[in-house]
Structure 1
Amino acid sequence: MARNCRGQAQLGGLFLTFLGCVCSCATTVLPKWKKLNLELNEMVTWNLGLWEVCVEQEEAGTVCKAFESFLLMPLELQVSRILMVASQGLALLGLLFSGLGSDCSRFPRNQWVLKKFLCLLGGALEASASATILFSVSWVAYVTVQDFWDEHVPDIVPRWEFGDSLFLGWAAGLFLASGGTLLIVSTCLRRQGASLPRRAGPTASFAFIPAEEFLLSSISRQDL
């Protein structure tokens, strides 16, 4: 029963981890970390991402332009780009290791210690990827809020607001954190038949008859 629960928890953790990886990739690629609507022309929306800036117009469509230099980007976007790329590597490695260490994979016998180590390592990597993503999107959100409520900026100046990528990044971090926690908890469950060796139960005692008595009894039976 415990083994079935452990296997189901591992499958749930792998599924949440996969969802977190997909959302994390979308967060990194989509240029919607910040958005800006001009009051003079509400039909035009500016979107700022980690790789490019896009302008959406209802008539002309969407036009994107990549950053000319990495150093020209705001500091929070520079750090977020590095951390998001690092989180992709951590999440993919964690998914690989946890998949190899789960009960679904087949290892040679007496290798359950290695599988346990791989599953724990995968869960730890997923937790690290989650912390990296949450730090990146939360820092960008904090800077956006500070700039939005800055009293030194005139009210007529447009302000950047939260983009859809920030919410997607928060969802990715929660998925990865939940998946990593499930993998670690399921691995720590007691493994039946591995921690304690089987011992033979008490059996009926055999009565051993000395050889001389056995011979005498057999001779007496023949005489009768």
Structure 2
Amino acid sequence: MSSMFQEILAFIVSTSGWVLVSSTLPTDYWKVASLDGIVLNTANYWSNLWKTCVTDSTGISNCKDFPSMLALDGYIQACRGLMIAAVCMGFFGSTFALVGMKCTKIGGTDKNKARIACFAGVSFLLSGICSLLSCSLYAHQITAEFFDPMFVGLKYEFGAALFIGWSGSILCILGGSMLCFSIAGSFTKSHSQANYIYKGDASHSHISSYPRGQAKSVNQRPLPDYSNSSRTQHFDKNVYV
């Protein structure tokens, strides 16, 4: 019963992390910039994996989509690929977790369900790792440009999407690990029960070795044979007659 609750908790944590990772991909504010030295900022700059925008003081935003994928910077292409892979792996993990958990009635035998749940846990782990690498790579690029004295362009800072992505990655890794450990515990318990049953059957194998209807116990003693004594007594009686 405890392993079932652990699987449910792992599924909730992993799915919540996958939802956060999926919401990070279309989020606008991956990096933001403000103009230093001015009391009232007339424009706010922000960018994500798909476009870069500027918002003026009236709230009107002007956006420009990134050019062809082949003309993009390498880190943006890598972040796109990692985030898409994270979303896909999280989707497969959620689907297989629903099939492989003990509280559901689909998936076949307990052994097959355990294998499916283990695959779901690995999928969640890979999803969290891909998302973590993507956000960390993007943050590293922002940090390198911000602290580079030779960089003459606009210097950005971390946006809200990076923190959401990091949080979702941690939840996916934590939930996937819990799901894998719960499956490993159930495998260990079933293996020990199988060994116990096998030893118990082996301890009584000497009883089943006898033919049917002639099983003997260890403490059973043979019945005394009075046939010879009765014949002797009958013979003595005839002698005296």
The structure with more radius of gyration: 2
Shift of 1:160: 1.1
| RMSD across aligned positions (CA) | 2.8
Equivalents in 2 of 1:138, 1:56: separation in Å?
A: 26
Equivalents in 2 of 1:69, 1:108: separation in Å?
A: 44
8 Å CA contact 2:75–2:138 kept in 1: the answer is: yes
Query: Do residues 72 (structure 1) and 71 (structure 2) align?
Result: yes
1:146 matched to which residue of 2?
144
Equivalents in 1 of 2:148, 2:43: separation in Å?
A: 24
1:187 matched to which residue of 2?
183
After TM superposition, the structure 1 = structure 2 runs for residues 147-162 of structure 1, keeping only pairs within 5 Å, are 147-153=145-151, 158-162=154-158
Query: Do residues 25 (structure 1) and 26 (structure 2) align?
Result: no
Q: Aligned to 1:35, what secondary structure does the other structure show? A: strand
Q: Which has the higher contact order (CA 8 A, sep 6+)?
A: 1
Percent identical across equivalent pairs? 22
Equivalents in 1 of 2:175, 2:107: separation in Å?
A: 26
Query: Do residues 114 (structure 1) and 100 (structure 2) align?
Result: no
Q: For structure 2, which runs of at least 5 residues remain unmatched after alignment?
A: 205-216, 227-241
Amino acid across the alignment from 1:75: G
Equivalents in 2 of 1:99, 1:209: separation in Å?
A: 62
Q: Aligned to 1:190, what secondary structure does the other structure show? A: helix
Equivalents in 2 of 1:108, 1:208: separation in Å?
A: 54
- The C-alpha deviation readout for 1:39-73, integer Å capped at 9, x for no partner, is 35614211111112232334133343322322333
Equivalents in 1 of 2:174, 2:17: separation in Å?
A: 9
Taking structure 1 as reference, are residues 194 and 29 closer, same or farther at Cα in structure 2, changes over 3 Å only?
same
Amino acid across the alignment from 2:162: L
Query: Do residues 172 (structure 1) and 131 (structure 2) align?
Result: no
Equivalents in 2 of 1:192, 1:78: separation in Å?
A: 43
Amino acid across the alignment from 1:29: P
Amino acid across the alignment from 1:27: T
- The C-alpha deviation readout for 1:161-197, integer Å capped at 9, x for no partner, is 1111111110011010011011001111136984325
Taking structure 1 as reference, are residues 18 and 108 closer, same or farther at Cα in structure 2, changes over 3 Å only?
closer
8 Å CA contact 1:38–1:158 kept in 2: the answer is: no
Amino acid across the alignment from 1:149: F
Taking structure 1 as reference, are residues 100 and 128 closer, same or farther at Cα in structure 2, changes over 3 Å only?
same
Q: Tell which deviates more after alignment, 50-59 or 168-177.
A: 50-59
Q: Report the count of equivalent residues.
A: 204
Equivalents in 2 of 1:164, 1:129: separation in Å?
A: 20
Find runs of 4+ consecutive structure 1 residues off by over 6 angstroms.
207-210
Q: Aligned to 2:64, what secondary structure does the other structure show? A: strand
2:35 matched to which residue of 1?
38
Equivalents in 2 of 1:150, 1:191: separation in Å?
A: 53
Shift of 1:112: 1.1
Q: For structure 1, which runs of at least 5 residues remain unmatched after alignment?
A: 214-224
Per the normalisation by structure 1, the TM-score is 0.80
